[in-house]
Amino acid sequence: MRRSEVCFALAAALLLARPAVSHAQGYGVYEQGACTMGRGGTAAARPCADASGMYFNPAGIAGLPTSGSLGGTVIMPFTTWSNDNTQIQADFLSKAYPVPNLYFVAPVAKRYALGFGVYVPYGLTTEWDKETFEGRFLGYKTSLKAIYLQPTAAAQFGKFKIGAGLDITHLSVDLERKLDLSQQFAAPGVTFGMLGIPYGTDFADANITGSAWGVGYNLGATFDLTKQVSLGVRYLGRQKVTADGGEAQFTQDPTGLVLTAGNPLGFPAGTPVDALLAPQFETGGSLVTQGVSTSIRLPNQLVMGVAVTPVKALTVMFDAQYTWWEVLDEIPLDFEILPNQSLVLNDNSVWTWRFGAELLLNKEHGTVFRGGFIFHEAAAPDQSVIPNLPEASRNDYSVGFGTRISKTFYIDAAYMLVDAYNRRGRTVALEPGGPITNGLYFNAGANLVSVTLTATF
C-alpha cells in the first residue's frame, strides 16, 4: 500500500459541531447600553433617554435632542466541566471580551427623528485549553462577531411613537477544534484506533473562518396610556445570512508515533505515523485548505413591555421577550473537498422575562440608581450542550448608576452577574444508541461591566 492511499472518512462535523451563531440565548449580547443594562434590559415601553433606544425600541429616539452615545460592555465568562467517569475538571480560559456600541440621533422638524447605530448584538467567545481539554475535538475556541449598522427613523404623534430601523449585518465566525486520529480510517474498515493509537491523539488543528452580509429590520412603538403608565412593543425581523467565501484550514500536529510489527496496513515496524498522514495535508489530500459555504438563519424576536411610575421618582418596568429559535433547525455545510453535510440543531423557541426599576436621586443632575433581574430559558436541547456553548437557563442580576457630569455630557455605568444553572452536557461526539451526555457543566456564568458616555448638543 502506498502512503498516499491512506484514507480518511473524517467525521464531517469538523468544526461546526455546534456553531456559536446558533445560540442567541447564550451568545446574544442584549446589553447595548449601560442605562438599559442597569435596569435588566427593560426598555420596550420606556427606552432610556439616549440614542441607544434605536436598538431596544426604534420608537424611543422620537423626541430626543441631537445627541450621540459611545460605550461598550466587557464580558468575562466562566464555567467548569466535570467528566462523569474520570471526575477530571476543566475551566474556560480566563479572558475578557469587549463589545462596543455607538449611536447618534438628530430631530427632524418637530415630530420626527433620524438616527444611526453601530452595535454588536452577537459577539462572544468561548475558549478552553487546546492542549488538555477533553472536549477540544468538538471545539476549543468559538468566536462570533455580528456587527449591525442600523439607520433609523422615528415619529411622535401625541402619546404615540413609532420607529423603524434597517439592520445591515456583517457576521464573522472563527471556529477551532482538534481532530482525533484514533477515530480516522487508515484503510477501509481499519481505524487508527485498531492499530493501537489511543483515543484523544491529536493529529490536526482545524480552523473554519468566514464572513457574510445580511439585511434585516427592527420595528417598534410606544404608547403613553396615562402619565404614569406606558406600553411598548418591538419586533426584530429574522435574517438569512449566506456565507459563500468561508475557508477551512488544517494544520498537521506531530504525533511522534510509529506502527508496530504485523500491522494490518502491511507497513514495516517503526514506520512513522506522521509520514503516513502528511499527504493528506498536501495537494490532492482531503485536509488541504479549502472553501466552505453555509446559510444561517437569525431568528425573529418579539418584545412587549410596560413601564409604571407609581411615585414621581420611581419607575418600574417589565418586558417579555419571545425568540423564534425553532427557525434554526439545521445548518448546511458545503465543503470544497470534504463531504457536504447538514448539522441538526433543533433549537427551541424560548421566553426571556425582564424586570427593572429606576430611582431618581437628584433631579438637577439627573442622578439615578437602577436595578434589574432577568430569567432566560435555555434554547438548546440536551444533545446540543457542548463546549462551543454549554448553554443553560440562567438568572441575571444587574445594578446601574447614571448622572450628568457637565452641561454636555452624561455618564451611565452598570454591572451584571449572569448566574447559569448547572446542566448536563457532553464533550464527545454523539454515537448511535449512545448517551447524549457524559458530564456536567457547572459554576457557569459571566461578569459584565458596561459604561456609556452621552453627549447632548
Residue 355, classed as helix, strand or coil, is: strand
CA atoms within 13 A on the CB side of 69: 34
Q: Whats the size of the chain, residue-wise?
A: 457
Grid coordinates given for 213: 452580509
109: left (phi > 0), else alpha (psi -120 to 50), else beta? Answer: left
Chain position carrying cell 466541566: 81
Closest CA to 199 of 441, 427, 434, 12: 427
- pLDDT (tens digit, 0 to 9) for every residue of the chain, 457 residues total? 343 344 343 333 333 333 333 334 446 788 899 999 999 999 999 999 999 989 999 999 999 999 999 999 999 999 999 999 999 999 999 889 898 999 999 999 889 999 999 998 876 788 999 999 999 988 899 887 889 999 999 999 999 999 999 999 998 888 899 999 888 887 788 888 888 888 889 999 999 888 889 999 999 999 999 999 999 999 998 888 888 888 989 999 999 998 888 888 888 888 899 998 999 899 988 899 999 888 878 888 999 999 999 999 999 999 999 988 888 777 777 888 888 877 666 788 899 999 999 999 999 899 999 999 999 998 888 888 888 878 899 999 999 999 999 999 999 999 999 999 999 999 888 778 878 899 999 999 999 999 999 999 9
> Nearest to residue 76, comparing CAs of 91, 98, 59?
98
H or E element in which residue 243 lies: strand 239-252
H-helix or E-strand spanning residue 275: helix 273-277
Tell me, what CATH number does 103's domain have? 2.40.160.60
Helix (H, G, I), strand (E, B) or coil at 360: strand
Count of structural domains within the chain: 1
Residue 404 lies in domain: 3-456
Q: How far apart are the first and last CA of the chain?
A: 77
How far, in whole angstroms, is CA 448 from its chain's centroid?
A: 15
Residue 151 CA to residue 164 CA, distance in Å, equals: 9
d(CA 379, CA 96): 24
